[in-house]
Amino acid sequence: MDAPDIESVVEGYPFYILSAKTDADGNKMAITADPADQYAPRKTGVHNVFLSKWAGKEHPNDKQQWIWNSEESSLKSVGLPGGALFEGFNKNMIVYNWKGLHNQRFHYNIATKRF
């Protein structure tokens, strides 16, 4: 049985990707998209992601929100329109402009609730 604070992923609705670990102060941590282009001042569409203190649902941070698109099998960034999560061959994560690349496609397991 799921814990009461766990919700299901529903296509088209924002959700958060939270770490199972907390910071030194016990705060929940969320995957957050960096609004600055990695190669600024150029506009390459490459943005780092990092763990930061979860802003919570009361004061949402759109850079911590993601939307599942089952047709494309993608995780789109709410805070960076047009950006999708990208897993590199080295297992690093970034946000990159959606191009339908293999590294931008994920599979959601409804039984385990994991990507």
CATH code assigned at 80: 2.80.10.50
44 located within any domain: yes
What's the structural domain count of the chain? 1
7 located within any domain: no
11 located within any domain: no
Exposure b/e, 37-69, CB count within 10 A at least 16 = b: eeeeeeeebbbebebbebbeeeeebebbbbbbe
84 located within any domain: yes
> Range of 45's domain?
23-104
pLDDT band at 5 (very low <50, low <70, confident <90, very high): low
Query: CA-CA distances (angstroms) from residue 65 to 31, 42, 78?
Result: 8, 25, 5
70 located within any domain: yes
What integer best gives the mean pLDDT of the chain?
90
Mean pLDDT value of segment 104-111: 83
Q: How do residues 39-94 score in pLDDT, each as one tens digit?
A: 999 999 999 999 999 999 999 999 999 999 989 999 999 999 999 999 999 999 99
CA distance 49 to 32: 5
| pTM for the model | 0.86
110 located within any domain: no
12 located within any domain: no
71 located within any domain: yes
Q: For residue 109, is pLDDT > 80?
A: no
Mean pLDDT value of segment 7-25: 88
55: Cβ–Cβ under 8 A, 6 or more apart, which residues?
A: 30, 61, 64
